[in-house]
Amino acid sequence: MTTKGATDMTDAAAGARHETMLQCFEWYLPKDHRLWRRLSSQAARLIDDGFTVVWLPPAYKGVGGDADVGYGVYDMYDLGEFDAKGSIPTKYGTRDEYLQAIGELRRRGLRVVADVVLNHRMGADGEERVRTRIVDVDDRTVSDGTAIERTLDTVYDFPERDGAYSTFRWNWRDFTGTDYTANDGSTGIMRFDGKRWSDHVSHERGNFDYIMGDDVDVNDPVVAGELTDWGVWYTETTGVDGFRLDAVKSIDARFFAPWLRTMRRHGSHPDLAVGEYWSGNVDELTAYLHDCGHCMTLFDVALHFRFEQASKNPDGFDLRGLDAGTLYEREPAYACTFVDNHDTQPGQSLESWVAPWFKPLAYAYILLRDCAMPCVFLGDYHGIAHDRIPPMPMLRRMVWIRAHLLGDAMAAQPGDTAHSLCWIVGGDHPVCVVLNTAQEATEREVSDAALASRMLVDVCHPQAAVAVGDDGRGWLRCPAGACAVYIDAGDYEGMRTALGEG
């Protein structure tokens, strides 16, 4: 038997790396204003590990100042520059540090995705009297017949910024509704008299235009113009390569195509957009893609829920249908696959944490096959100190294998069962994957000419190597409730050296 590829190892597909995105934050990062600096110093390692895209958290000032994760948007022009909401920096650092981080990440060859939150504003600077109608929380299409004037926090004049970058001032006419009455502190969804919810949004609770705070009216031409002006300023100022679009299920799908076209004409010509439409119903996801003209990809929330289900009921889950009813199955070119994120991690409102034992299987499924752009969560890659959750074993190796070894020819192997999947990604550096949710170990026979006469090592359990015959046939073992990832023994040694493990 021989080992191959140790000396001639190159990236798959003649130097082209498969796309892999890293979500560079989790909810409980410390409020130390140092994330931008840390990312600047880690840029070289991230590209060496195999990432091609990094998703940065919202960079603008939130209502919580430097304690805000970034989704309670106050001023999108304040990137950590003005003494507003109790601090100059955001949770992650200052404007200069943010721009330096983007520059360093891009210089190293990483594409930078900015988190854009267009749906709402919070932390108004002033009050005004507004005629409103109370909305039924369970059916937002139903509201009071009589409008009542209330005192609301809907004036945003950003006194600390004092007109820098933009003189636009927000008032109730720029919003569709809110949920807080300033004069008596009462809460409840209110739609402003004369306004209507957007049509091309989720039909959850009748109409899911409203989420929180002061709901931005993207269908108002003045507001759409301001959001476009901001986007142009932001793109030209930061040089980002794309956008992660927050809460698109609550934003009219027709808004995004012209907005993104404009962004692509400016700055660094951002060519990447990933929308977050939080629904496990693939019909809703595909409908939104249709309504927005396929101007973005969407996170495959349906696949995430399949992972969660499989992890919590392995005996009753048939792995052969793991991708059934998912965006990866229905529209793979528009599916950004992921396992978990900042919203699904323990303690968050959308908590749906994939059980730790299953995470290696889930990541093998999105990283080591034909997913267009899988997204790795920082909480899995580095762990979550807040909850004493350690990094996921072998995840760094899987990212590296995807970048440096993975080819384009994926072939399922015969013999899949309800608790066992096996596939090979062929090429000069073949990768063989086995998933096993059974309570006992399994062995799978594989057959591929690219495997002939190779010595294979399971990077997850490297204690024993497997010799493949001259005919390309061999038997791959996978422990109970685990995954096995077999690569050529020479590639295995090259991987360990590249990752500093040798």
The catalytic residue positions are: 246, 276
CA distances from 300 to 25, 53, 58, 244, 360 (A): 19, 17, 21, 13, 18
Which residues have C-beta within 8 Å of that of residue 203, sequence separation ≥ 6? none
Measured between alpha carbons, how far is 270 from 291 in angstroms, rounded to an integer?
21
Could you count the other beta carbons within 10 Å of the beta carbon of residue 169?
Answer: 14
The residues near 136 (Cβ < 8 Å, ≥ 6 apart) are 142, 143, 206
Q: Is 119 annotated as a binding residue?
A: yes
The Cα–Cα gap between 419 and 439 comes to 9
Alpha helices in 5-66 (DSSP H): 12-15, 35-49
Cα dihedral 88, 93, 97, 103 in deg (nearest 10) = -130
Residue 217 annotated as binding site: yes
Residue 209 assigned to a binding site: yes
**HSE (side-chain half, CA atoms, 13 Å) at 97:** 20
* Both tokens assigned to 453: 């006469």
CB atoms within 10 A of CB 2: 9
Q: How far apart are CA 172 and CA 337, in angstroms?
A: 38
Q: Please, what sign has the CA dihedral across residues 396, 398, 399, 400?
A: positive
Q: What angle do CA 152, 158, 160 make, to 5 degrees?
A: 135
CA angle 251, 305, 374 (to 5 degrees): 75
Distance CA 307, CA 396 (A): 20
Enter the tokens of residue 308: 């969660």
Taking alpha carbons only, the member of 151, 217, 149, 147 closest to residue 180 is: 151
Q: Any known ligand binding at 115? A: no
For 20, 24, 459, 495, the CA distances from 46, given in Å and listed in that order, are 11, 10, 20, 15
Q: Angle at Cα 272 formed by Cα 268 and Cα 274, nearest 5°?
A: 140
Q: How far is it, in rounded angstroms, from Cα 261 to Cα 243?
A: 13
Surface-to-core class of residue 17, CB atoms within 10 Å of its CB (0-12 exposed, 13-18 middle, 19+ buried): middle
Residue 356 Cα distances to 26, 39, 304, angstroms:
17, 26, 14
Annotated binding site: 119, 209, 215, 217
Known binding-site positions for Ca(2+): 119, 209, 215, 217
